[in-house]
Structure 1
Amino acid sequence: MQCHQTSFTLSTAGRGPLRLTARVAECVRDSGIHTGLCHVFCQHTSASLLITENADPAVLRDLEGHLTRAVPDGDPRYTHDQEGPDDMSAHIRSILTGSGLTVPIRQGRLALGTWQGLFLWEHRAQGHARTLVVTCFGTAAS
């Protein structure tokens, strides 16, 4: 059994999705793992990770619209607002969508479905630097 871990930092442009599939696939290739698992972890409490539709951008817009309606910025019931009106809503959105993903590795590649893609979702209105840790473990090609 082998394990390979790497991290990288991305700059976001503010609220919304950032495609990660190619960057994580590169980490899998570099790991040398042929069969196993790839785990991606976001080291932040106001951004999250998602696996969702990667072909139709309307899906991403609809997801953002849903989160905006379900968890509005500046809700007067929130007491945590140290960094502005999007502070607590960003934390709630992150909890609802999750900070980690695990994807199977098959034949040295991410075993995603045809229409699946990996995304970092920035929940703050302003852009931030976001660090992700990618851990691949399994067996190498024989």
Structure 2
Amino acid sequence: MVVQERLEITTRNREMIEITAQVQGIVAASGIKTGLCHLFIHHTSASLILCENADPDVQRDLAAYLNRLVPDGDPLFIHTQEGVDDMAAHVRTVLTHSDLSLPVADSCCSLGTWQGIYIWEHRYLGHRRRVTVTIYGE
């Protein structure tokens, strides 16, 4: 069996938003007990990550590291039509993930104790982000 749903999440700014509960709700409602959950974000300046969800310092440190690795306004970038964060956001997305695949067991994503699913907005301004959730299994 295959079930597919779409999530729409509004971001406010450059931030990480945990979507674990929404994804787990879709998986539980799918009726699929064992299988695979695939997530895909339909954007080139936001990404999906699987990250620790217990200590918010982890997300802060990841953001600080990625900001150092890919600084906004780097003179190397030519593509800046939408501002200094334009090309940096695209690079950050390529370095992280546009999709995630997670095992489904007992009608939920089988995550580790401290794992959470996040949308990582790489732009300064918020956007409406679409994520397709597809669950395969029985």
Q: CA deviation digits over 1:11-39, x for unaligned, max 9?
A: 00110100010010011011111000000
Match of 1:33, SS? coil
Match of 2:33, SS? strand
Question: Are positions 1:84 and 2:94 aligned together?
Answer: no
Question: Are positions 1:18 and 2:17 aligned together?
Answer: yes
Q: By how many angstroms is 1:114 displaced?
A: 0.3
| TM-score between both structures, scaled by the size of structure 1 | 0.96
Superposition CA RMSD, Å: 0.5
Tell me the number of residue pairs that the alignment of Structure 1 and Structure 2 aligns. Answer: 138
| TM-score between both structures, scaled by the size of structure 2 | 0.99
- Equivalent positions of 1:53-132 (< 5 A) are 53-132=52-131
| Structure 1 runs, 4 residues or longer, greater than 3 Å off | none
Corresponding position of 1:133: 132
Instruction: Report sequence identity in percent.
Output: 51
Counterpart-to-counterpart distance in 2, 1:26 and 1:50: 18
Q: CA deviation digits over 1:74-95, x for unaligned, max 9?
A: 0011000010000000000000
Corresponding position of 1:29: 28
Counterpart-to-counterpart distance in 1, 2:92 and 2:76: 15
